[in-house]
Every structure is written in structure tokens, then in C-alpha cells.
Structure 1
Amino acid sequence: MSSGTNIEKLTLEDIMSDRFSRYSKSIIQERALPDVRDGLKPVQRRILYAMYKDGNTYDKGFRKSAKSVGNVMGNFHPHGDSSIYEALVRMSQEWKLRDPLIEMHGNNGSMDGDPAAAMRYTEARTSKIASEMLRDIDKDTVSWIPNFDDTEQEPVVLPSRFPNLLVNGATGISAGYATEIPPHNLGEVIDAVIYLQKHPDASLDDLMQFVKGPDFPTGGIIQGLDEIKKAYQTGRGRIVVRSKTSIEKLRGGKQLIRVTEIPYEVNKLQLVKQIDEIRINKKIDGIAEVRDESDRNGLSIAIELKRDVDQQGVFNYLLKNTDLQITYNFNVVAIDKMCPKRLSLKSILSSYLEYQRLIVSNRTKYDLSVAKKREHIVDGLIKALSILDKVINTIRESDNRKDASHNLVETYEFSPAQADSIVALQLYRLTNTDVTKLKAEKNELAGKINEFNHILDDSEKLDNVLKNELLNIKKEYGSSRKTIIEKEIENIKVSNKITIPDETTVVLVSHDGYLKRSSLRSYKASEVDDCGLKEDDYPIFLKQLSTRDHLFMFTNKGHLIYRPVFEITDVKWKDTGEHISQTIGLDADEQIINIFNFKALKENGMFVIATSDGYIKQTEFSKVIPGRTYRSHSLTYEKLKDDQSKVVKVSYVANNKPDAEIMIISNVGMASRFMLSDVSVNGPRTTGVKSIELRDEEFVCNMEVVGDNDKIGIITQKGSYKNMLVNEVPITSRGRRGVQILTPLKRNSYEIIDFAKIISNEESNIPLRIYTANSRIHDVLSDDYPMSNRKSNGSIIVDVKKEGIPAKISEIIS
């Protein structure tokens, strides 16, 4: 082993940490993030400088892009040609940059995401505004470093005579850092810089008088002024960017949504595809056709609507579900003083202003040095012309040019620079006229030197120079704002009328908790009884509803289950459907007791809720509107006193029934009738007030909302049935014991199992159905039985030994 070998023992952790740190620093500073001073990444800076150095500028002809890429790759940027060409192309795309820095002939891509033509086909040169990025670069304004092979010098940063970081924005990802800076309006940013010159303590609100917000090259509408302010304050923020649209009327009552501007960096082709897929998949009904009508005159997307469609509803849906509206996230990160930093608006403007003062100062020093050198030469020429004959003789007597210069210095005390200038002087300039011109030039140079000294000595004068130059750039390149800014972010609401087609469907809910919906076609093609339910199960709700309707299902344990009809499983009529416990857990003894359907969730009525332990309440419809978690969690609409209590009935009363009455009957045959207005209104998680006085072992079997002329049908545990007029029970106040509506017996008395209101139509009473404990069904035509008084125990119609004890009586579901 050589004695000069030095072996170090290092852990893998230390080696990886060191190498990755170097790599991270390299890609952060030398690849992915822009510099706050010129707003350019290294590859962009090298492209512009290489093209400038090669004379490939706006005032000359176009040259092949491949040549520019080759110069950049060979001299300054030793990376793949594709990455260099992609950067060059992006700087030419007017839909990406607010003020493009490259002009390109040929296909440079499109808003549809089409790639640019190969670099051998396209031609490029720097744009006119790019000349402002490079102006004064040859006047020692910026620092220089050797290129990758030490054969040339390249600028560390460009002079950037306008604030390019804000004007054209930036996007990039590096190790641990990412940046997303939107483009801004050139005139607004320059006005803010000038204001900051005079007011170094300016607040963000002061600066935002000038910089209103981003100004995207694609236009559009920005919403969210507070978020813009937050982004300018912290470097992070989220705004909404919306397409600019208009409504055109077509023949036949049709309308067309015309999109003329889309959000920044949205792919137009993908946007049209998104809208067309919504049309094809019929996610909403109303879009007839989508066409991309963009041409040389600008962007245009036509969304043709069907006749008599809610265009605002369709538009809202498209805003929410396509790239017609996007959120843009500020992440303002740039290299400032060799470090990546998240910057506020003021810090960017301050850094740029500080840099431009340095540029003007360096340029002035350079111009001062050049002027002083020239003044020194002019002084020598004037002196030489004053002793011209002697100077000529001295030159004649000299051996060569070098000797002549030496003799002039020795004989007449010229400086070496002056002597060289005299020796190089052409004979035709040795006239009196040239003396006059030289003296005029000397006076002019003296004035310039004085002016340059004044600029360097007076910061206010330097700022005036900078201000005038910025104003000239604004005058030359400024343009009106393209993007509209709106203060508030609009809350988009999509109506069910847009997202849900209005279709008639048959909805079924069974006693055991199965629910389904089927098309009318499937329903009519099947036998009604062939509904797919188990042998001992039966429907408790069966109706033709719209898919836009809403279903409220109340259980005996005080839980409310909500389902929009369109969310219920759509199956064939012969299929069983889904069980409610698949999404919402039910107790083993929990049953759905009442079901209501509504057209909208904006009803003004009341739910009347009665419990087995003698409590009743009214709850407003608005208090039981389902929340966001309705799919997996039920809502508690009744607080039960104990585990033995249960809800026996839920009725819905519209506001147009102020004279409604309540009929409450207990199992021992005590009935109470009182006004609904006596029942207090309570929230969902309450028990309510006393409905009827109960004694030991008694419970409420049912409750009905009735009128004075209504009839009820009563079923007992012995299978007896009787009809009774409601007015047989006198109206009293709530909470009373009530009156007896069965004749008590000494042994084995009758007990009421259930009762139901008899609904009549023009022809006859609608039949009632009795369900027994043995899953037997017994239908009753109330017209077949006489109207009985309170003392009657009714007529036996159910053989309890064969059919089982009655469990429930209700209107027939059909």
C-alpha cells in the first residue's frame, strides 16, 4: 500500500447524508427554483444568454431551434437536449407566460397539450421584451462565473430590467421544495415597485392597490380576495379560477354556453372531453352537444343545451365537476441570497428593487469609467493638435510605433494611453475642425461624468433613473389586465333537478327492513305478490315515487333513517333488495313503524310522535333534516325514558290543519281525545309531554291524528273487531285518564292490540289489513260491520287459535 494513501472510516449514514445534501443543494440552486432577482431557472437564463451572445435576437432573423439548443448544451448546460428544448418552448408559449421571452416559428405546442414540433423543424429568437432581461449585461452589471468546462464565462443572474419573477411566474419541484408562482400584470408590478421606492415601509394593503392579484395569460376569473391577500402575506394561498362564459340563445328555445377563457394551465382538449363524458354517461340531463370551435381568433368552446333546460344548474354542475373551475395554490418559493425561501409580495418587490439599484449603480460606474478614459484620451488629442508639428517630427524620427509612443511620453509628458491614441490617429483628422469636435466632446464628457457622479453620490437621483427606466418599459410593453378578480368565492350549489333525472319508480319497504326501488316496467311485468320478499315478510310501504323524492323511515327505538329515493338500490321487482342494516345498524328488536315521502327537504309541517309509556310531542320538520353522515348513521328523533319504552306512532301534520285532534288509546281500552294544539313543540332529542294517564302494566297501543267525523277500526287480542266514531270519545285536555271504549269483564277482559283510522273514498271505505303473530293476514271491509258504541267489544273475525293473536291493523299497502 502506498504511503500516501489515506483511508477514512465513515458510516453509510454519514456518506449518504453528505452526498444527498450536495445533490439537494445542486438541484435547488442550479435546476428547479428561480432566482428572485431575474425570475429565471438556470436553464432559462442560459438559453437567453446563449441566444443573445449568438446574436439570435428579436431584431434579426429566426434561426433553427436546434442550433440554439446545441449552443446552450455545448457551452453552458451539460444536460439532455430535450430538457433544454422543452424550456425554450415553454418560454415561447403565450398561454403559459404573460409576456413570452422567446418568439418561435413553427409548431410550439397548444393549449390542448399537443407537443411542439421537433427542434429541427422550428425556428426561434429572443422576443423584444427579452432584450430588457439582458440590457446592460456587458457593462459589468452582474457577476460572472466559469462555465462547466472553464472555457467561457456565464452570468450568475441576468440584469432583468423588469420584475420577471412576478410577471411570468414560475413552477418547479426540487428536493424538499416546490414553487408555484402565478403570472402578474407587468404594469401593475412596475407601479408597485415604484411605490415601494418612495415608501419603503409600505404595507401589503398599500402594495395591493397596484398588484390586484395574478393576471393569467389565459384570462379567466379569480375569486377569493382574502386568499390572494393571504398568499401575498405568507407565500401560500388558495384561489378559485373560473372560466369566462356567456349565454347565447338559439332557435327553438335552446341555449348555448360559450366558453371564451379557461383557467390557467388547464388542458382544453381534456376539458372538452370531461364535459362530453358527462353528456355521454348522462350524469346530468340537458347537454345536447359539446364542440371545440377555437380558431385563429381565439378560444371558443360551445356547450349546446337541450330545450327548456336550467342553464344555470347545468353550468353549476360543470363548474363543480370539470376544469371549468379549478383551485390554484400559491407556493411562492424562490432563491434569495443563495437560499430557498418562501416569499411575501413585499419581500419579492424589495429584493428586486435592491437588485435593480445595484444594476443601475454598477452600470453607472462602468459608464463613468468609460467616460473618464475617453476624457483622458480627448485631452491628449487636443494637446497633440496644439503642438502638431512637433508631434509629427517626433513620430517621423522614431523607429517604429512602439518607439513613437515611448518618445511622445518622454518628450511631451503624454500618458501611454494618450500616446497610443495619437500614434493611431489618422492624418485626415489633423484639421482645425477636429479640434472643435474634440473640445465639444470634452464638454459633453464632462457633463456625463458629472451626471454619473451625481447618480452615484445621490441615492434619490439613482432612484429617479431607475423609476424612469421602469416607466419606459411599462409604456413600451404594458398591457391591460386579462383576468377579472372577484372578492368572494361563490358557493356553488347543484340542484337535484340537474343531477338526478326525474323518473317514476316503485319503492318498497318491508316489515323486516328490506328496501328497494324498481322501474315501472319491471313492476308492471311482474305479479304484485311476487316482490322477492321472504315468505313471512310483507310490505309496509309501497308507492310510485319520483327519483327526486325523499324517504323518512321512523323506527320504534326513536331512530330516523333517511334515504333519497335515487340512492335506494335499483333492482328488478322480483329481487329482494338491500337490508337497511347493511348501511345502518339496527337492534334485533328494532322495527320501522312509519314511513313518509316528501318532494323536498323544505316542508313546514310537524311530526307528531307518541310513545308506549304515555308521552307525546310535536317536532318541526326542519329539526330532523338529515346531516352529512345520513348514509351510515341514523338521527335520534325521540329520547325514550327506558329500554321498555318504544315509539308506537309517528304522524305528519301539515301546517294547514290547525284544528287537528289526537286520539290516544291504551291497551286496557282507555281512550283520550284532545286538541293537537295542546301538544308542545320539542326538539328531536326530547321525550315530550304526558299524553294519557297510565296505570301499572298499561301502555299506549297507538295514536292517530283525527277529525270529529272520522271513524276508527279496533282489533283486540281475542280477534274481535269493531268500528267506532271518533266523537264517541269526548274532547278533554291532554294527560287525562280518558274514557272506556270496551266493556270490562270479570275474567279474561278484552285488550286492544291496535286501532287504525278508516280512510274513505267516494265509493266506499278502503279495506284494513290485520297481521297476526303467526304471519297470517286477515283483510277487513269496515262497511261489512256496523258502527258500534263505546260499550261494545266488537265481533270476533279472527280465529286466534288457528291464525294467531292479532299484532297490527293498518291500511292495506298496495
Structure 2
Amino acid sequence: MSPNNIKKNIFKNKPNLLNNPNVFDNIGAIKFVEINQEMKKSFLSYAMSVIVSRALPEIKDGLKPVQRRILYGMKELGVYHQASYKKAARIVGDVMGKYHPHGDSSIYDAMVRMSQEFNYRYPLVDGHGNFGSIDGDAAAAMRYTEVRMSKIAMELIKDIDQNTIDFTKNYDNSEQEPIVLPTSFPNLLVNGSTGIAVGMATNIPSHNLVEVIDALIAYINNKDIDIEGLMQYIKGPDFPTGGELIGVNNLKEAYTTGRGRVFIRAKTSVVKNEKNKFSVIIHEIPYQIKKSSLIEKIALLTKDKIIDGITDLRDESSSREGIRIVIDLRKDINPQIFLNNLYKHSQLHISFNFNMIALVNGTPHLVNLKKILEEFFLFRIDVINRQKQFELAKASTKKHLIEAAVKVLNDIDNTIELIKKAKDIRDAQTKLMDKYNFDELQSKSILEMSLQKITNLEIEKIKKEEQNLITQIQSCQEIINSQTKKENIFQKDLLRIKKIFQDERKTIINKDVNEFNIPNENLIEEERILITVTHKGYVKRLNLDIYKKQHKGGKGVNGITVNTDDFVKHFVISTTHSYQLFFTNKGKVYQLKGYQIPFFSRQSKGIPLVNLIPLEKGEFLTSLTSVDDFKQANDCLVLITKKGLVKRNNIKEYENIRKKGKIAFPLKIINDEVLCVLNTSGKQDIILAASNGRAIRFNEMSIRKTTRQGVGVKGMNIDIENNEVIVGAAVVSFPEQDILVLTEKGYGKKTKSKEYKKQKKGGKGQKTFKITSKNGQLVMLDTILPNEEIILISDMGKVIRIENKDVALTKNKLTQGYRLFNLENNQKLVLAVVVPKEKDAI
């Protein structure tokens, strides 16, 4: 081909350049440049291309160019969420040919990732077929898989055809593509983003949609809200694979500066089988960790003897049950210590580094939490404004045409006559413009009007439509001119999305553990303990077997050293691993593990309880109970107040009590207090006893279950005006169970539970003890078994431990009882606890 022909082919669409003789002066010439300068220039161009056009997300829609082009390509093909699936190869081919001139594998890999629930918190692509797994398995070839938009992806393209965003030419100027999508929610925060550019990288974690929307609404209502205020709504990242988020003290720095580090830990549990051996079960693994690689790593750690004690390692995961990796341990292995070693040496515990870099107006910026919400807010306000301007223009045009229609219909006969006399369409158009002062668009619409429009009914419809258009135009103008109205529309749209897509947080936030902290419980042997709390609020932990058994009438030993104005008020038998629930006079509940209560000698008074739990001014302990396992879903807690109110909750209601405590019983009666808490099976009888010597028995099922915030119902009718109070309560497990009652002067007796007739709750009950000046008022009622003993405590700290057989069993509930505790110097019995018999107690 001759040089002239080459020139003609190159510039066939640019004749002005072809005729310019200076254009070809340098063709074929060799130009010498410094290689270091050319490398700098070329590499800079390449770097900017990667940064802007490949690796970094746009702050407005949270998408990289390939992701945006995939969604727009699906939109152009009509592959909406409601539509049928379409072959992935068709989407990839369309996107590559029209918008993304790169390899098909890069487009397909991006599409696959957008469909994976273990990679995207809210997947944007709904895949049909094999799209890989958390084991690291690759997706099937694109010719086999099918895709369509996910439901939430529809919110990213909503109103895109209403001039809400700007478009630009594609790579060959043959198509238009959006610069950003008119996203309805902050996708950058919700789904996060990760990418490696040139000289920089981004790593933004995903978050819970509900939390992000709540934070955005808070920002809309208060533009001056700070990062700490936003974190009241956004608790932290919410990863697709769940797990536990620890090291949350670093979150404020990450959200403030855009850089920081948190830690993700696998969600595990320990179970014991019938052979008395432990198994560690892994239910959720950290984000972006391959399950198969994790199992291989654990096997390698065992082979290299870095961890010891595994007898079997198997993967029981399924699509229905989710992840379930089972590690069977030798009988002599402590599962908690084993887990700590796994956290240390495997990917069960990893770090996640915040590096929140995004494109802001085409330039990469390190952004913080507020900046992301602020930029998205401004973007959405602009989208709403442009959408209303589009509606306004459309309504104004339609109104313009309808005005012509109304004018013609009011003079329809003359109009028809005028059109009939016209030579042709152009002549008719001209005559209409002259007669009615129409423009070309109006006259054309009149000529295209169908005859059915001239009926009376249609005329009325047109006039009504004109009025509707006037209202619509006025509404659009008001919204365009009002920032407040635009913000209200924005908020309503956010609430709509929240209602449709709201879900529970997947990643648990563990505020009690940081990256270096191994839970103390895992290193502490479980043993039985005594926990005492005095009237003045001193608490301590003791070994259970420090008290010597004595015969009835004994004087006891000092269980605790107290001042003359202090005495032991609360006493519970528990274990170092059990949960201790502290119920206060204000109806609040606090939670500690047994080992968190310091150990003291028998003579020590302990430490102030306020050092362990944040008691408010005027708040003091009124009841203490122990819970071994919150997972016993069928068990209940029955809470009883001194004024005779009762309520029933599932134990799980008290599983997650934060350090500041929670409301356990909203007290509605003046001066009422929580007395005690009973563990029940959910179907047992309960006996309440009052200071007046009366008791009532009823079935707990007559108490409707409530939430922790629920109020109580009347359990026993007592004379509050005469200072009568409830002093004891017990659960009846079987008909022949012994019921123990004690008075303030150390008198007591046992009666079979069958002697207490069942009544309806809320009654006055029946007499259970003959109250005299000799024995004093009733102070305690509880059940006792043959293999149990009683620990009695006086208000001066004297403690005595006696066996069940030393307490007389009576048939007559109205006796005065027998002296069990020889109280001196006007001491009073303030507390009695029934405990299992200890063979090694001295």
C-alpha cells in the first residue's frame, strides 16, 4: 500500500488533518529521549490509569469501574432481579465489547466475586450455578453459569434513566457509560472495597446496612455530629463470614483517620461427648480465610508438634448447616488452652487493617467515616435534585401539549373544519399555529391526536390530567428550591431500603477482649466456691469447704470479719466459671464470672462491690444468683420482689449483660426491691413466703413469660401498708420434697411440700408458721433434699453448717419450730443457704 493510501486510511474521518501538510513532517523520524524521563512519564500515566480506572472505588457509589460496567451492562441487557437468568458469558462479552476493553477473565472474576456471599456482605449479583466456595474452589466457566442482578443491586441503578447522573463516552466513543451509578445507599461502607493500585492500596471493611443507614440519618439531622456520635450507630465492621471482632478500642482511630487495625477471631464452641472427651467446633471463620487452607494449617501445626492433643480433624460443613470444622481432643487436653494455641498459631485469629482510600472527584483521598457519609449525602441530594428537574421538564412538556389539546377541544368543530380544508399535514400544522398561536410541537401533537379524545369523557380526563400536572410541577419546583424537602425525600428512601433489606449483624463485637488478651477463664480451674456480700457492700470469694460441720445449737465459727454495723447479707454457692447475676434494689442486673470476684481469707471483709460493678448512688445489692449455662433454652428465671410481684423470663434474656448492667425488673411500686431469682424448668410449682408467716403455692406457668424489660404481676397479696414483705421463695421439684422455713431468732422446721396446697397466684396464701415474740418473724423459705445441708448466717457474721437430719420434720405447718441456731447478744438470722453435702467438709 502506498504512503498516500496509508494516510487516507488513517485520516479518512479527519479530512482537515489530511489536508494539513505539517501533520506528516515527523512520520518516520527517530526522536531521542532520556529513558529515565520517558519511564517517569509513561509509568505515571500507567499508574494514574490503574488508580482511577481500575483499582480504587468511587466514594459516591463505592464501585470500581469494572463493577460499575458489569451492573450497567446487565441493566442495558434487561437482566434485572425480576428477569430470568442470562448466561454469564453474554454479560461478560457485552461489557468487554462496549465498556471494559480488558480480558474477559478479569470481568468474569469481578462478577463472580460480586455474587459470593462469603465475599460480599450484600451481593450485587445473583448467580445461578457454581460460583466457587469458601474453600477456595474456582467458579465454573462463564459458559455454564447464569446471572442476574440481585435485589439490592436494583437500588444502585434506580432512576438512572432520569438524568440523575452524568455519562461519558466509552473507550472507542461508540457508546455512553455512566461516570457513577445513582446509588440509593452508601455502598462503599455497606459492601466495603479492597484493591491494590500503584503506590497505594485500599481496604475498606463491610458494614451492616441498618447501622449505616441509621448513622446517615443521624448525619442528615445533625451535620455537626462527630465520629464518636456516628459510632453510636455504626458499632464496627460487619463481615460476610461473621466471626468475632476484637480490639475495638482501635475503631475510633480507624474511623477518624481512615487507618487503623482491628482483629477478627473465629466463632468456636467446645462440647463434651459421651466418652468424656472434648471437641472444639469452629462455626465461623475470619473474613477472606479459605476453609480448606485453615484445615491444612491446623493439620500442619499438629504434624510439626506446634500444637498437641488432636485425635481427629474433620470438616462437617454443609450448605444447610454452614461451616462446621470438628477437632476431637485427647481426654487430658484442656480445650480452652488448646484454643488459645490455635488462635496464636493459625488463621483463626487475624488482623484487618483499615486503609480507607477512595476516589473523590477523580482524585484518591484517605477518607474517614464522616467524610464518606458527607460525600454520599451531597451526591444523593444532587441525584434527587436532578431527578426532580427531570420530572419537572417532563411534566412541563406534557402540560404544554395538554394545554393545546384543551384549547382545541374547546373549539373542536372549528378545528376539524380547519384540518379538513388543509392541503396537507404541513398546511394543517401551519393553520393550527396561526389560529391558536401554537408552536410546532403543539400543532404536531394535535394532528396526532386520536378521534376518541373528542368524547366528553376523554375531554374531562384531559382537563383532570392538566390539573394533576400543575400540582406535580408545583411539587417539583418546591422540592428543587428546598433543601429540607430534598433531605426528607432522602430519609424516606433510606428508611424504605432499611425496611426491605434489614438483617441482623453477622460479626459479633467483643468489647471485653483485645488482641493480646487470652480469657482468664480458659486458664482457671473450675472449682466450687462461696461468694458473700455484706450489708455494706463488701464482696469476696472463698473455698466451699472452709466451714466445719457442727451439731444443731452450736455457736458456729467466724465466716467473715465485720464491723459492728455490718453483716453478711448475700451468700451463694457457685463455681469459678459460673455467671454471677447481681440484682439491685433498682431492678438492675450486673454480671460477673466467679473467678472475677477476688479470693480472700475467711476473716477478711473483701472489697467493695462497687469496685467490680458500677453501682450508682443509692443503688445496692438485693439479690445474687448464679447461672451455669445460658444456652439452656428451656430454663427460666423467675424474679420476685419484696412487694409480692413476680415475673418470668427465659435465661437467655440475661446472657449478654454489658459491664454497665441492664434493667432486669422495671419497678413500678414505690420502694419495691428485687428479692430473689429462681431457676426453673418452665413448668414447676413455686412457693412464696411472707414475713407474716403465710405462704402461697402456684404453678409458674400461670406467670406469662415476658422479655427482660417486661413488668411483673402480683404473685402474693400482702399487706404492704403494714410493712409485710416477701422473705423467701422456692421451686417445688417433687411432691415429697421438704420445705424449710426459718425465723429471725434461729428457729426452723421442715414440712413436706404436699402440705402446701396449690392456689391461684395473687392470693393471700395459707399459714405456714406460728409467729410469736419467741421465734420472731419469718426470714426464709427454701426446699431441702436428704443429701443437702444448711449454712446459717447471723447479722454479726457468725456461720454454722448443719445437716438436714438435724432439722425436725413436722406435719403441722402451724408449730413454732425448733431452735437451730443459738444466737447470742441479740443477733438475728439474716440469711440461710441450702447446699449439697460435702464429704470432705471438716
Aligning the two structures, in what range does the TM-score lie when normalised by the shorter sequence? 0.5 to 0.7
Q: Is the 8 A contact 1:375 1:445 kept in 2?
A: yes
Q: Deviations over 1:663-683 (max 9, x none)?
A: xxxxxxxxxxxxxxxxxxxxx
Q: Deviations over 1:733-775 (max 9, x none)?
A: xxxxxxxxxxxxxxxxxxxxxxxxxxxxxxxxxxxxxxxxxxx
Deviations 1:131-186 (A, max 9, x none): 11000111111111111111110000100111100111111011111011111011
What displacement does 1:415 show?
2.2
What is the aligned partner in structure 2 of residue 343 from structure 1? 367
Paired residue for 1:505? none
1:616 corresponds to which residue? none
Supply the distance in 1 between the matched residues of 2:184 and 2:468 (Cα, whole angstroms): 27
Instruction: Tell me which of 464, 469, 477 is aligned to 1:440.
Output: 464
Letter in 2 for 1:74: G
* Correspondent of 1:5 among 20, 25, 31: 25
User: Residue in 2 aligned with 1:483?
Assistant: 507
Q: Within the alignment, does 1:227 sit opposite 2:253 as a pair?
A: no
**Could you tell me which amino acid in structure 2 is paired with residue 196 of structure 1?**
Y
Mapped to 2, the partners of 1:282 and 1:416 lie a distance apart of 89
TM-aligned CA deviation for residue 13 of structure 1: 2.7
Q: Secondary structure at the match of 1:295?
A: coil
- State the shift of 1:493 in Å: 5.6
1:281 is aligned to 2:304: yes
Match of 1:84 in 2: 107
Corresponding residue for 1:453?
477
Alignment map for 1:544-563 (pairs within 5 Å):
none
Q: Which of 33, 37, 40 does residue 14 from structure 1 map onto? A: 37
Query: How many Å apart are 1:494 and its aligned residue?
Result: 11
Partner Cα separation in structure 2 for residue 494 and residue 420 of structure 1 = 81
Match of 2:191 in 1: 168
Aligned equivalent of 1:322 = 346
Selected match of 1:371 from 388, 395, 409: 395
Give distance in 2, aligned partners of 1:477 and 1:378. Answer: 41
Query: Contact 1:253/1:308 (CA < 8 Å) preserved in 2?
Result: no
Corresponding position of 1:684: none
Question: Alpha-carbon deviation of 1:308?
Answer: 3.1
CA-to-aligned-CA distance 1:226-282 (integer Å, 9 cap, x gap): 211111011111111001111111011111111111100000001111112223333
Partner of 2:448: 424
SS at match of 1:22: helix
1: distance between equivalents of 2:298 and 2:165? Answer: 50
Give the Cα separation in 2 of the matches to 1:247 and 1:157: 48
Structure 2 matches for 1:51-70, cutoff 5 A? 51-70=74-93
For the Cα contact (< 8 Å) 1:279–1:288, is it kept in 2?
no
Deviations 1:466-519 (A, max 9, x none): 110111011111211111112241535699x99xxxxxxxxxxxxxxxxxxxxx
Give how far 1:449 is off: 1.0
Contact 1:377 1:417 in 2 (8 A): yes
> Which residue of structure 2 lines up, in the alignment, with residue 245 of structure 1?
268
Letter in 2 for 1:491: F
1:237 is paired with a residue of what secondary structure? strand
Of 404, 417, 437, 1:380 maps to 404
Structure 1 letter corresponding to 2:340: N
Residue equivalent to 2:430: 406
Q: CA separation in 2, counterparts of 1:228 and 1:401? A: 72
CA 1:446–1:493: 2 relative to 1, 3 Å: closer
Check the 8 A contact 1:313/1:494 in 2, yes or no.
no
Structure 2 counterparts to residues 332-731 of structure 1, below 5 A: 332-487=356-511, 488-492=513-517
Supply the AA of the counterpart residue of 2:25. Answer: T
Correspondence for 1:47: 70
> Which ranges in structure 2 are unaligned for 5 or more consecutive residues?
4-20, 524-842
Contact 2:452 2:458 in 1 (8 A): no
Return the alpha-carbon distance in structure 2 between the equivalents of residues 39 and 283 of structure 1.
42
Match of 2:802 in 1: none
Task: For residue 251 of structure 1, give the secondary structure of its aligned residue in structure 2.
Answer: coil
Q: Cα distance 1:494–1:350, how it changes in 2: closer, same or farther (>3 A)? A: closer
Report how many residues are paired: 497
Distance in 2, matches of 1:379 and 1:209, equals 54
- Deviations 1:85-125 (CA, angstroms, capped at 9, x unpaired): 00000000011011100001100000000000000000001
Shift of 1:9: 5.8
Where in structure 2 are the equivalents of 1:104-183 lying within 5 Å?
A: 104-183=127-206
1:292 equivalent to 2:310? Answer: no
1:36 touches 1:336 (CA, 8 Å); kept in 2? yes
Residue 179 of structure 1 contacts residue 332 of structure 1 at CA under 8 Å; is this kept in 2?
yes
Normalising to structure 2: TM-score of the pair?
A: 0.58
1:307 pairs, out of 304, 328, 331, with 331
Deviation at 1:390, TM superposition (A): 1.1
Residue in 2 aligned with 1:704? none
C-alpha RMSD of the superposition: 1.9
| Aligned ranges 1:248-267 → 2 under 5 Å | 248-267=271-290
What residue in structure 2 maps to residue 31 of structure 1? Answer: 54
Aligned amino acid, residue 78 of structure 1: P
Superposition misfits of 4+ residues, deviation over 3 angstroms: 1-4, 6-10, 492-495
Please give the per-residue CA displacement for 1:618-639, whole angstroms capped at 9, x wherever unaligned. Answer: xxxxxxxxxxxxxxxxxxxxxx
3-state SS, counterpart of residue 275 of structure 2: helix
2:263 maps to amino acid: V
Deviations along 1:363-396, one digit per CA (max 9) or x if unpaired, are: 0111111111111111111111111111111222
Counterpart residue number, 2:678: none
Q: Is the 8 Å Cα contact of residues 307 and 342 (structure 2) preserved in structure 1?
A: no
Question: What displacement does 1:402 show?
Answer: 3.0
Cα distance, 1:419 vs. partner?
1.2
Provide the C-alpha distance between the structure 2 equivalents of 1:401 and 1:318, rounded to a whole number of angstroms: 86
Following the alignment from structure 1 to structure 2, what is the Cα–Cα distance between the partners of residues 116 and 133? Answer: 25
Give the 3-state SS of the residue equivalent to 1:142 in structure 2. coil
Match of 2:230 among 207, 211, 228: 207
The code of the aligned residue for 2:158 comes to R
Contact kept? 2:238, 2:505, Cα under 8 Å: yes
**In the alignment, residue 45 of structure 1 is paired with which amino acid?**
R
Match of 2:573 in 1: none
Partners in 2 of 1:438 and 1:418 — Cα distance? 15
Q: Give the 5 Å matches for 1:727-806.
A: none
Q: Aligned letter for 1:489?
A: N
Q: Which residue of 2 aligns with 1:331?
A: 355
Aligned partner of 2:160: which letter?
A: I
Structure 2 SS opposite 1:91: helix
Deviation at 1:224, TM superposition (A): 1.4
Output the CA distance in 1 between the equivalents of 2:97 and 2:313. 48
1:177-209: CA deviation from partner (whole Å, max 9, x where unpaired) = 101111101111111111111211111110001
